[in-house]
Amino acid sequence: MKQMAIISGKGGTGKTTVAAAFVELADQMIVADCDVEAPNLHLVLDHKVKTETEYIGNQMARINTALCTQCSRCEEVCRYDAVTQKVQQEEGRQGGTVFPSIDAKRCEGCAACVYACPTQAIGLYPEATGKVFLSETNVGDFAHAELYLAADGSGKLVAEVRRLARDEARRQNKAVLIDGSPGIGCVVISTITGCQQVLVVTEPSQSGKHDLERVLKVTGHFRIPTQVVINKWDINTEISQEIEAVCLQSGVSIIGKIPFDPMVPKAIAMGHPITRYESPAAGALREIWAKISSELRGA
Amino acid sequence: MRLAVLSGKGGTGKTTVAVNLALSWAPYRKTTYIDYDVEEPNGFIFLRPQIRNSSTVFLPYPEINGACTLCGKCSEACQYHALAVVGGQVMVFPELCHGCGTCGIVCPVEAVDEVERPLGEIDEGERDGVQCLQGVLKEGESLAGPVIRGLRRREKERSSQVEEVIVADCPPGSSCSVIHSAEGSDLAILVTEPTLFGLHDLRIAVGLMREMGLDIGVIQNKDDGGSLIREYCIQEGITLLGSIPFDLEIAGIYSRGQSLTQEPKWAELFKTLGERIMTEVTQRKNRGKTA
């Protein structure tokens, strides 16, 4: 079973536009939206949710104040400044006692405080971090997720979406197409590890080029075969040439270039993949897909 | 005054807004721009500051010394599977280690020493009166958190008594990285674009900021004259601070890595936008005082 991820480094270069076009053009694919922090693919894919599962992706420390002796050992060992002070009122008494308290937004569930506490007053408790969906579309199954507000651990949620997609792909003997997120950190690494192919969508701007260079170092670091698409390449042909030079230097091939096309935002506004229309960008995407799909079937 | 610039969706114009606001405030007040998008920092491309100081952000990881009895407590306690007792020794996997120190706490014989590995960098400089800081995560590393925390610490260390404007250019998305970059701000400026994707992710960002209890205002970038974002703001009772038009000249200047304020027309737009934001924050503060 093959897996291909679409990433970009810089945000807003057109990952989802490209992914939605591929989904429409492919006939044997399971799709996964791994941009769990800002998922958009579901907006341009007609889909019906088949299963919805809550995902327990994290754990958090909690203090049992009945056992706490206020020794502040937890505060000393926490490297995330997650232990704060909280005044707890006691019934029938003036004032209150100051107890340590865990700040949910900072706690990383590392257990340092749990082991450091001399009175076993702290425990780790599982936390739901989001929901994972398996949906059906008229072009195949679609795995996606919703990260709960302020929940930690998007990297793990990505891994769960990929697991769901992979299981379906094995069952149905299909390949997996992943729509990724911007950046180069844990979420992106969780999106690309184990993929046979990464496609980087970039744009001809100094920012796009800079971020492409960084993302190519990451795919190089993990030794994942990588190809590049320049979106809106004709907006600045000079920088497009610079990008081609960067790719040449990194030993990465450019699989295609998509022209600037006012039809793209219009298609998105209607909630449709661009390939449903006859337009320059749609034509370029069909050519790119023809190359990629033969490679995905091959090797 | 601390202003967080964020968006949810990537590529909506966070850096454009943050950089040009900072440049337009700098002649009138002490201004600091800080790029918290440590995975893909782009602000310095536009600001091109003279770098004065660079420092490395390190993350500690364990090294096991000769006192080890192979009891396996460290490996049991590690929540990130960064230690394993295999074949008569403790193997350490630094790339999985979060540097939390739990292994050292549980070791009964003090066999855990801490060493450090570089995770990223913090750069400081200046350009046209704007103090500039950025965090840069090393390629191949997964933990942006320690770099963001290091940058936040640096921000606190260098803050003086002088009233200054801090513009925090935050990462896209809605993760802990966004929370740690934005918390404690006087206003969260949400930059969005009038597309279904932009609006969808704006809703997520608004939800997150409300959860954090931050004041919010919206800037619409690539404004096409449509009503999508305006209607949403009215519906939600969110202040629309201003709009930047969809304009091929702007796209051109941006693509070359230049600041928009060098063009009088756009300098004027950001000056007005900047004044509006200042008034907004001051008014909200006063309202807060009287309330």
One domain for residues B254 and B201? yes
* Among the partner residues A109, A155, A207, nearest to B257 by beta-carbon distance: A207
Question: Mean of the pLDDT values across residues A144-156?
Answer: 93
* Among the partner residues B101, B145, B179, nearest to A112 by beta-carbon distance: B101
- Whole-angstrom distance, CA of residue A108 vs CA of residue A287: 45
Choose, out of B14, B17, B35, B40, the residue to mutate when testing the contact with A (most A CBs < 10 Å): B40
- Residue B80: strand, helix, or coil: coil
Pairs across A and B, CB distance < 8 A: 173
Interchain pair B45, A152: CB under 8 A: no
pLDDT of residue A299: 44
- Check whether A184 has a pLDDT greater than 70: yes
Domain count across chain B: 2
One domain for residues B48 and B74? no
Angle between the N-to-C axes of helices A237-250 and A206-221, in degrees from 0 to 180, rounded to the nearest 10: 10
pLDDT in tens, B57-107: 999 999 999 999 999 999 999 999 999 999 899 999 999 999 999 999 999
Neighboring chain B residues of A182 at a CB cutoff of 8 Å: 10-11, 39-40, 172-173
pLDDT of residue A153: 87
In chain A, residues 117-146 whose CB comes closer than 8 Å to chain B: none
Would you state the structure tokens that stand for residue B183, as one six-digit string?
């918390």
Supply the CATH classification number for the domain A65-120: 3.30.70.20
Query: Which is higher by pLDDT, A219 or A151?
Result: A219
pLDDT of residue A298: 56
One domain for residues B25 and B102? no
Topology given in CATH for the domain delimited by A3-56+130-297: Rossmann fold (3.40.50)
Where in chain A are all domains bearing CATH 3.30.70.20? 65-120
Neighboring chain B residues of A207 at a CB cutoff of 8 Å: 15, 42, 45, 254, 257
| Distance from the B29 Cα atom to the nearest Cα atom in chain A, whole angstroms | 28
pLDDT in tens, A66-104: 999 999 999 999 999 999 988 877 666 667 788 999 998
Mean per-residue pLDDT over chain B, rounded: 95
Where in chain A are all domains bearing CATH 3.40.50.300? 3-56+130-297
Please check whether residue B116 lies inside any domain of the structure: no
- Check whether B291 has a pLDDT greater than 60: no
Please check whether residue B267 lies inside any domain of the structure: yes
Neighboring chain B residues of A236 at a CB cutoff of 8 Å: 252, 255-256
Instruction: Report the b/e string of A245-259 with b at 16+ CB within 10 A.
Output: ebbeebebebbbbbb
Query: Which is higher by pLDDT, A270 or A296?
Result: A270
ipTM of the complex: 0.94
Residue B102 domain boundaries: 66-110
Confidence of residue A150 (pLDDT cuts 50, 70, 90): confident
pLDDT in tens, B13-51: 999 999 999 999 999 999 999 999 999 999 999 999 999
- Check whether B288 has a pLDDT greater than 80: no
pLDDT of residue B105: 98
pLDDT in tens, A3-41: 999 999 999 999 999 999 999 999 779 999 999 999 999
pLDDT of residue A98: 86
One domain for residues B279 and B153? yes
Question: Phi and psi for A231 in degrees, rounded to 5?
Answer: -90, 145
Please check whether residue B115 lies inside any domain of the structure: no
pLDDT of residue A8: 97
CB contact, 8 Å: A231 with chain B? no
Q: For residue A141, how many other CB atoms are within 10 A of its CB?
A: 22
pLDDT in tens, B200-217: 999 999 999 999 999 999
pLDDT of residue A38: 96
